[in-house]
Amino acid sequence: MANILVASYYSRWDLKNHKGRIALYDSANQEIENHAFTDSAEFQVIVSMLRNEKPLWYETEAQHLRTGNEPAGEGER
């Protein structure tokens, strides 16, 4: 399982079509994940995490975000 530190992100919500997109980037500005949203509440939760939780890690195998100082080890899941 790869744990990648999220260094930056791009978010967009289309008011007309009620769709959103969030792209996550690592410290080398390489895209980690690019996800589309149709649920505004889910979109807002992710944007809130990105704005307020530091550091934030993306777990590539599980495809989810986690907070904390270090990535979870194999025995900590």
Please write the tens of the pLDDT for every residue from 10-50: 999 999 999 999 999 999 999 999 999 999 999 999 999 99
Burial (CB count within 10 angstroms: exposed 0-12, middle 13-18, buried 19+), residue 5: middle
39, 41, 46, 43: which is closest to 65 by C-alpha? 46
pTM summary value: 0.83
Q: What does the pLDDT read at residue 77?
A: 45
